[in-house]
Structure 1
Amino acid sequence: MAWSEHLGGNKYKIVERDPSKASKPKRSVTVYMPEDLKTEKKKAAWLALEEAKWSEKVVGGEVIRQEDITFKNFIPKWEKGYAMQNMGEYTQNVNLYNLNKYVVPEFGHLKIGKITTLYIVTFFGDLRRENGKEFATNTKLNIYKAIKSVFDAAYEWELITKNPMDGVQRPRTSKKEKKAMRGVKKAFNTSETETVLLALYDLPDRWRLYYTGSLLGGFRRGEYLAVEWSDVDYDRGAIWIDKQITFDKNGNKIEGEVKTEESEGWVSMPKWYMAQLKEYEREWKKEKLQCKDWAGGNKSYVFHGGKGIMYFPTTPTSTWRKFLQKRDIPHVKLHGLRHTAAMLLRESGADLKTMQERLRHTKIGTTADIYTHSSDMISREAADRLEVFDPKRLRFAP
């Protein structure tokens, strides 16, 4: 008879003995209890049903044994048991594409328990584009994450006794890439920020407020697209973030969950910006009343493409690129506004913890690694401190 072990939160491991196995007969599966089960009676009933279903599968021989399942055949189980529970549809799609395009042709036929660390290291060493050129580090990193997620699940579900990814080094940026990246502008400095904020007045109010808010609040592209008026609190002077506009598996725009649990939260904004947003809301409501074929339903997106319909996730990117080109402003990617927000915080003297909380990073290391690289102002201040060593200012200088 199957039994369960509580792994914390709503996560449980259900175990049953496989009667066909003399050694290591335990077969386990990880399940997630629905959060809407409030009473202990309902929780116990749900768990008992899951135990019964798992027991039936194991005893009936439906569970594929470790020595029989290949990497390719395990992917659908990983998708159903992990990816669908923990990833957005777009992220699932990217991971599945990378697995099927690059990994399955190389070792999808191998039994998952036979794939070694050396095999995976060799795979990454030989990984090349069809034209023989190296992949960008970011692409290799995405492939690495996909493979690691699959093996992490296989190890957690006790399908393998050792995780071969433990000895595989995370892809790192090469010197050549670093040199090329140094020539790419990642953020605006203070004076450039002032220029951009003034130039944005050439755009319609919705885009001016969208980009200004992104620059000041450090919002991710899809997060600010998903904000509704109910998420705007004028008394608090802040905007609530708990969803994003993203893609589903088929490339269609959808409203989905934010990147991480830590991404949810209130983001305080300057009073003058909230005042402008309030004025814009008045005009927004007038336009809605005048719209005869409103298609937004019960949604009230602050920024929409007309008739209340959510924007396509890439629309802000293309609009931003055209804006910079027209005004002859140095090109900074749309995500660079988030970097700019971090730089402005850094230059104003904010500590790392404050920056982490405002940018809603899961780990403070992410804030330190990505957003604390030298800005022009910080570098200038450091140099200015050395002016006292000018030989002409020293008492005994020749």
Structure 2
Amino acid sequence: MAWSEHLGGNKYKIVERDPSKASRPKRSVTVEMPGEITRSKSEKKKEAWLSLEEAKWSEQVISGKAVKQEDITLLNFIPKWEKGYAAGNMGEYTQNVNLYNLNKYVVPEFGHLKISKITTLQLVTFFGELKRENGKEFATNTKLNIYKAVKSVFDAAYEWELISKNPMDGVKRPRTSKKEKKAMRDVKKAFSSSETETILLALYDLPDRWRLYFTGSMLGGFRRGELLAIEWPDVDYDRGAIWIDKQITLNKEGQKVEGEVKTEESEGWVAMPKWYMDQLKLYEKEWKKEKFQCKDWAGGNKSYVFHGGKGIMYFPTTPTTTWRKFLLKKNIPHVKLHGLRHTAGMLLRESGADLKTMQERLRHTKIGTTADIYTHSSEMISRDAADRLEVFDPKKLRFAP
């Protein structure tokens, strides 16, 4: 049966004997009593909290799940985090990115240290001094990805009670500097309504598969890999919609695979304009003819609407490359491929759609995400707001004598 020892202040050491060892050595963990209980005058509350902590530690030791704090370094803990958390909560590509960031930037600095000994000050200093190998500053987004990976690791360690306090709780999330914000404002993120009309016509110079792919992205707000993964059974002409429940992504080895969509809310029907569905129907007839004439079809039982020939799924970066070349050839201002998703949102915003409608169509988990992205001004919204003030033109006002 576990017991506790007061270490001073609000710290306690909880001890249990390990039944799996012949000599039954003591296994201990240090815990911190919450402030509200420490300040309480009720000894019963303190005893009840300690009893619960003792029971939890005893169960871990007896079941063999306890890992002694001082026995594990960050380097040795990362594989446990990968298997126990990342594998079940992240897509393979995201896992790969996180592991790369951890091994590239974090392990060289902290890998040799025991996870229970890494402090908030060390982590704050690390992020404050984090730079590229050439000494240049990281983009905030890159810094944020490293931050998220580190936080995920320490969150797991704290939840699994390997550490009594999470050192990442005192590390501020990286924020975009004023200089970077200004640079980002100068980057074109989406197309206006008039630009969209021009692009939709220019897309007719591409093969039908790419024309319909980019048109669908611009009007349906699909993510890059989602539209690559749709098959003909996912297209419902009666409903006038496309079903999304998977995406083409990369696994940890960098190979293209079918994976789950980004979030649970990402799964669902996306209604499309009737004219687009009509064009998709004509394209399906041509698609079937090409498959019938293909002597070395390699798609098996898959029927990807957009494929690179022989029924094989596209590599997820292929649309990005194709899109960049198209813009360059047509001398159209550069907007990233993901900007077509933003364009879909801005078109909805400019047409007067409310945020809830936009959230549901773009399949955002939180309406706050929709608001953060699409409540900034667009050319049309700004012009409309300005036009409303024309009535105050002094030349048009009539004043009483």
TM-score by length of 2: 0.85
Aligned-partner Cα distance in 1 for 2:233–2:320:
25
Aligned-partner Cα distance in 1 for 2:204–2:119:
58
Matched, 1:232 2:255: no
Aligned-partner Cα distance in 1 for 2:288–2:228:
17
Cα gap change, 1:278 to 1:61, in 2 (>3 Å) = closer
What residue number does 1:194 align with? 197
Matched, 1:119 2:122: yes
What residue number does 1:323 align with? 326
Aligned-partner Cα distance in 2 for 1:332–1:23:
56
Cα displacement string for residues 263-300 of structure 1 (whole angstroms, at most 9, x for unaligned residues): 11110101111111111111111111111111000100
Matched, 1:271 2:269: no
Matched, 1:339 2:346: no
Letter in 1 for 2:334: H
Secondary structure at the aligned position of 1:179 is classed as helix
| CA deviation after TM superposition for structure 1 residue 17, in Å | 7.8
Secondary structure at the aligned position of 1:67 is classed as helix
User: Residues 239-258 of structure 1: matches in 2 within 5 Å?
Assistant: 239-258=242-261
Which structure has the larger Rg over C-alpha atoms? 2
Cα gap change, 1:25 to 1:137, in 2 (>3 Å) = closer
| CA deviation after TM superposition for structure 1 residue 57, in Å | 9.5
What residue number does 1:12 align with? none
Cα gap change, 1:169 to 1:57, in 2 (>3 Å) = closer
Cα displacement string for residues 16-39 of structure 1 (whole angstroms, at most 9, x for unaligned residues): 98444465599xxxxxxxxxxxxx
Larger mean Cα displacement after TM superposition, 170-179 or 337-346: 170-179
Letter in 2 for 1:259: K
Secondary structure at the aligned position of 1:74 is classed as helix
| CA deviation after TM superposition for structure 1 residue 396, in Å | 3.8
Cα displacement string for residues 51-107 of structure 1 (whole angstroms, at most 9, x for unaligned residues): xxxx99955968531122111110000001111111111111110010011011111
Matched, 1:173 2:151: no
Which residue of 387, 391, 394 maps to 1:391?
A: 394
Cα displacement string for residues 360-397 of structure 1 (whole angstroms, at most 9, x for unaligned residues): 11111111112322110000011111112212122249
What residue number does 1:295 align with? 298
| CA deviation after TM superposition for structure 1 residue 152, in Å | 1.1
What residue number does 2:366 align with? 363
> Which aligned segments of 4 or more residues in structure 1 are displaced greater than 2 angstroms?
16-26, 55-64, 394-398
| CA deviation after TM superposition for structure 1 residue 175, in Å | 0.8
Secondary structure at the aligned position of 1:288 is classed as helix
Aligned-partner Cα distance in 2 for 1:63–1:153:
14
Letter in 2 for 1:293: D
Cα displacement string for residues 286-332 of structure 1 (whole angstroms, at most 9, x for unaligned residues): 11111111100010000000000000111101100111111111111
Q: Is the CA contact 2:30–2:164 (under 8 Å) kept in the aligned structure 1?
A: no
Cα gap change, 1:368 to 1:17, in 2 (>3 Å) = farther
Secondary structure at the aligned position of 2:133 is classed as coil
What residue number does 1:77 align with? 80
Secondary structure at the aligned position of 1:219 is classed as coil
Q: Is the CA contact 2:241–2:269 (under 8 Å) kept in the aligned structure 1?
A: yes
| CA deviation after TM superposition for structure 1 residue 196, in Å | 0.4
Aligned-partner Cα distance in 1 for 2:235–2:247:
15
Letter in 1 for 2:159: E
Q: Give the % identical residues.
A: 86
Q: Is the CA contact 1:243–1:255 (under 8 Å) kept in the aligned structure 2?
A: yes
Secondary structure at the aligned position of 1:393 is classed as coil
Cα gap change, 1:380 to 1:22, in 2 (>3 Å) = same
Which residue of 64, 72, 90 maps to 2:93?
A: 90
Alignment RMSD: 2.2
What residue number does 1:129 align with? 132
| CA deviation after TM superposition for structure 1 residue 112, in Å | 1.1
Letter in 2 for 1:324: L
Matched, 1:155 2:161: no
Q: Unaligned regions of 5+ residues in structure 1, if any? A: 2-15, 27-54
Aligned-partner Cα distance in 2 for 1:182–1:17:
60
Aligned-partner Cα distance in 2 for 1:213–1:152:
39
Cα gap change, 1:66 to 1:376, in 2 (>3 Å) = same
What residue number does 1:51 align with? none
Letter in 2 for 1:236: R
Aligned-partner Cα distance in 2 for 1:206–1:100:
40
